[in-house]
């Protein structure tokens, strides 16, 4: 299968163990995976031309949090084609409401989902294009 058929995902999380775990899971499911450890790194990759089909972002990160990152991506039109999903340990209604206001496509609490379930949710979100 050629790379052009692979769906592209940008995963942003300040936990490198989780980044590696999710990267492997998505790669095994035929995704092209790019990772970033923080918001500035993610913004740089988008500005450099990476066009993901979906952005998967943690909320709690040093500096700019994930919801603000997605807001910036939307405001600056860095990935208009991309779906956006939050993958976090933050399940507070305030965070969920903030995320909904910027138009996210999914919100998953890490503690309640295993990586294969996260891939399934992403597949479902991308299938709705």
Weakly modelled stretches of the chain, pLDDT under 50:
1-2
Reduced to 3 states (helix: H, G, I; strand: E, B; else coil), residue 89 is: coil
Tokens for 26, please give them.
Answer: 């998505």
Q: Is the dihedral of CA 76, 78, 82, 84 positive or negative?
A: negative
CATH 3.40.50.10070 assigned to domain 3-127? The reply is no
Tokens for 28, please give them.
Answer: 């095994």
Angstrom distance (rounded) from CA 102 to CA 126: 18
Residues 11, 46 contacting (CB under 8 angstroms): no
Q: What are residue 46's phi and psi, to 5 degrees?
A: -70, -45
Tokens for 67, please give them.
Answer: 């919801």
Quickly count: other Cβ atoms within 10 Å of residue 52's Cβ.
25
Angstrom distance (rounded) from CA 73 to CA 82: 10
Residue 90 has what pLDDT? 84
Residue 61 has what pLDDT? 94
Residue 3 has what pLDDT? 52
Residue 1 has what pLDDT? 44
* pTM exceeding the 0.85 threshold for the entire prediction: yes
């Amino acid at each position: 299968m050629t790379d052009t058929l692979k769906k592209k995902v940008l995963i942003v999380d300040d936990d490198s163990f989780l980044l590696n775990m999710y990267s492997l899971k998505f790669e095994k499911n035929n995704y092209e995976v790019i990772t970033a450890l923080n918001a500035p790194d993610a913004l740089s990759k988008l500005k450099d031309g990476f066009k993901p089909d979906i952005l998967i972002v943690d909320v709690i990160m040093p500096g700019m949090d994930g919801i603000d990152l997605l807001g910036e991506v939307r405001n600056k039109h860095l990935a208009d084609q991309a779906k956006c999903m939050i993958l976090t340990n933050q399940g507070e209604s305030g965070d969920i409401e903030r995320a909904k206001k910027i138009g996210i496509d999914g919100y998953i609490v890490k503690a309640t989902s295993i990586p294969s379930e996260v891939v399934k949710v992403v597949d479902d979100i991308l299938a709705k294009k």
